[in-house]
Amino acid sequence: MKRSLLSCLAGICLFAASALCAVAAVSPWAQSDGGKMRILALSDGAGKITAILEIAPAPGWKTYWRDPGDAGMAPDIDLSAARNLKLVKISYPVPEISRDEGGRFFGYHHPISLVLELERPDPELASELNAHVLIGLCKDICLPFQSAFSLPLGTLDQPEADEFMKIQMAKAELPEAPSDSFRITDAALTPDGAFFEVKISAPEDGTLEIAAAPSRGVLFGGQPEITSKNGLTHVRFAVRRLPEPPAGAAVTLLVKSAGRAIETTLAIDEPGR
């Protein structure tokens, strides 16, 4: 799951090239009994900003992936109050896929960073990253943890090496891009709409672990069926609910195998399309 040390070192070397144009900003830590979180952002000076939401569960506590599994709370990041900023993408580090007392668990027992890609619609205007964040932290009990962050951007005279390094390390924890040797080759609803079927080309020496995060209005039921045929892994999700009409319905699949992980978002179209 982790990028190689050489990849990380290569990213560090890029810092020298970007140092004259990038600026960093960091919020204070918000604290709770179950852990803490803060936001850190780095601007490239040309309208693009990379931010990370650092979440550090307290010892013995856990937090969650973009879908928590059978119990828990996925992070909710509201940037509607941000000034001169547009959210492009939120990326999650590779989660644990396991079972615990709540059933299926997709999440983390260690500090993590979510990577937020942002753009300034007007690069000439100042920007402010105003975010309302709600996450779940669980141990013997589950505590919703909510905090508001306000982070002016582009106000520092020079970049901070620590912030640059934190962002590079956060990116190194993300799933790899799909490739010919590890990818989803096909995905579709069955003709009766009862199942969403996926075919995966994966490393031969690994057992697949799969986490699914359906979009709003889509509900899958229980554990997916996994079989192998003709060199491909076939995964079958029971569909409990689809929005009417299903236009825009999608699911993000995280697939782990042989120490690697990929993530792909798939459209869920009407049967027969």
Reported as a single tens digit per residue, the pLDDT across 168-204 is 999 999 999 999 999 999 999 999 999 999 999 998 8
Query: How many beta carbons lie within 10 A of that of residue 37, not counting itself?
Result: 26
Residue 157 in this model has a pLDDT that exceeds 90:
no
CATH architecture of 5-172: Sandwich (2.60)
pLDDT at 89: 96
Give yes or no on whether 5-172 and 183-267 have one common fold. Answer: yes
User: Among 32-36, 77-81, 119-123, which stretch is predicted with the lowest mean pLDDT?
Assistant: 119-123
3-state secondary structure of 65: strand
Q: pTM here?
A: 0.88
Give the H/E segment covering residue 7.
helix 5-18
pLDDT at 269: 84
Domain boundaries of the chain, sorted by first residue: 5-172, 183-267
Q: H helices within 19-109, ranges in order?
A: none
CA neighbours closer than 13 Å in the CB half-sphere of residue 201: 9
Q: How confident is the model at residue 2 (pLDDT cuts 50, 70, 90)?
A: very low
Reply yes or no: is the peptide bond before residue 245 cis, omega within 30 of 0: yes
pLDDT at 163: 85
pLDDT at 12: 43
- Rounded CA-CA distance 151/103 in Å is 37
- Rounded CA-CA distance 95/254 in Å is 9
b/e map 133-159, b = 16+ CB within 10 Å:
bebbbbeeebbebebebebebbebeeb
Reported CATH class of domain 183-267: mainly beta
Closest by CA to 223, choosing from 94, 74, 105, 138, is 105
